[in-house]
Amino acid sequence: MTDNETPVDAASSDELMEKIVNLSKRRGFVFQSAEIYGGTRSTYDYGPIGVLLLRNVKDAWWRSMVQMRHDVVGLDAAIMGPPAVFEASGHLANFSDPLVECRECNSRHRVDQLEVENVCPSCDSKDSFTESREFNLMFKTQAGPVEGSGHEVYLRPETAQGMFTNFMNVQMTTRKKPPFGIAQIGKSFRNEITPRNWVFRTREFEQMEMEYFVPPEEAPKWYEFWRNERFEWYLDLGIPESMLCMRDHDEDELSHYSSGTADVEFLFPWGWGELEGIANRGDFDLQQHAKHSGARIEFFDQATDSRYVPHVIEPAAGATRAMMAFLIAAYHEETVNDETRTVLRLDPRLAPYQVAILPLSKKEDLIGPCERILADLQPHMMADYDITQAIGKRYRRQDEIGTPFCVTVDFETLEDQAVTVRDRDTMEQERVPIDGLLAYLLPKIGK
């Protein structure tokens, strides 16, 4: 909870989440994992539509953080790591949350997330909790062919350590000089005590992180830069300003090595929640790995003939959590001709499909032009193709998954070589020649 939290009506907040979860299941955004076996708690699979949305979120991040910058390079590091890495990073000693167990029903809870102090949320018992103890969130497993004799490995709880341990490899191979960054998107794992709120907090999730290495004296300047840059990224992709805020951590919230941390927060149906943290981490990470590994980790500045350990500014975002925020912000219901129209007003760059091709009838004559249009558009965008049901129903189905444009091929098309393009948001229709369709759509979908 933060100071600027707007109280949300609990019933309507539950109702909105239920609608989004149902829509996601019905249309193939997100499924409960292993559902046919009863489902695995807090584990989700991204379906045919969800995988497109999630991929677009990650692509938009990569585009703005790597493609559009000359000072950031990418990395895809291993998910499994040896204990030494996490000893150095401090995760083995400190990456924990306070856990209590209810003596009445044996359920376990994270103390700092209890809605009512000393009341068990599972059985409502009062004062039934055990002493709080620190529970480490790392997943540990064995690598090696013989059970029990292999060596221990951990699943990474964040992608960041791969960027620190590869600092020298990346710096030497790319010849980048600070300020420069290493960016990575990938899965992370945390044995969360209370996973909840759909894909907001899960045990397996995807992150988008960047470590920006800077000369120590430039750290405050770059911290400000990335704080603003990252906030703007969400606005640019369509999150309304009223649903977004930047929250600076108080002194007592900061980790001992951080001289500044701010969270980008989103107004979820239940209140404000973190989307991303931006932290000024000093030289803590590189110093720790240098100390524990014995490797020399520093930058040699030829211009001044001196060596220094760069400081790090880290914008760390959740891809799956961001996807959920984009879905919530885009969800709208409106009344059209006495019927409720559900529409996802997703930015066209994030929409699973940018266009849907809809022949007015299944008749052979219309299928040929549709296939030619698909072949024209598919190299440039995701195009859906739907030939069954009444056209009105098909428009509604596309509205529900956020497709910004529907292209209808009708019998007139055979005469005038033109199609009707329907705009998702205004529902206005425009006749466009097939030859000019690609050029008409590209600027509208941000290409």
Point out which residues bind ligand ATP (CB under 6 A): 158, 190, 192, 201-202, 205, 207, 274-277, 316-318, 320-321
Q: What minimum distance in Å lies between the beta carbon of 119 and ligand ATP?
A: 22
**Between 276 and 283, whose beta carbon lies closer to ligand ATP?**
276
Q: What are phi and psi of 253, to 5 degrees?
A: -90, -20
CB 310 within 8 A of CB 222: no
Q: How many alpha carbons fall within 13 Å on the CB side of residue 244?
A: 20
DSSP 8-state class, residue 216: G
Q: What minimum distance in Å lies between the beta carbon of 147 and ligand ATP?
A: 29
**Between 325 and 373, whose beta carbon lies closer to ligand ATP?**
325
Count of CB atoms situated within 10 Å of the CB of 164: 24
CB within 8 Å of 349: residues ≥ 6 apart: 56, 60, 237, 445, 446
DSSP 334-390: EEETTEEEEEE---TTTSS-SEEEEESS--HHHHHHHHHHHHHHTTTS-EEE--SS-
Q: What minimum distance in Å lies between the beta carbon of 341 and ligand ATP?
A: 31
Q: What minimum distance in Å lies between the beta carbon of 58 and ligand ATP?
A: 13
Q: What minimum distance in Å lies between the beta carbon of 200 and ligand ATP?
A: 6
CA distance 420 to 385: 15
**Between 29 and 299, whose beta carbon lies closer to ligand ATP?**
29
Q: What minimum distance in Å lies between the beta carbon of 150 and ligand ATP?
A: 27
Run of H or E including 45: strand 44-46
**Between 35 and 253, whose beta carbon lies closer to ligand ATP?**
253
Residue nearest to ligand ATP (CB): 318
**Between 266 and 405, whose beta carbon lies closer to ligand ATP?**
266
Total residue length of the chain: 447
**Between 133 and 307, whose beta carbon lies closer to ligand ATP?**
133
**Between 184 and 408, whose beta carbon lies closer to ligand ATP?**
184
| Paired sense of beta strands 429-433 and 418-423, if any | antiparallel
Q: What minimum distance in Å lies between the beta carbon of 228 and ligand ATP?
A: 17
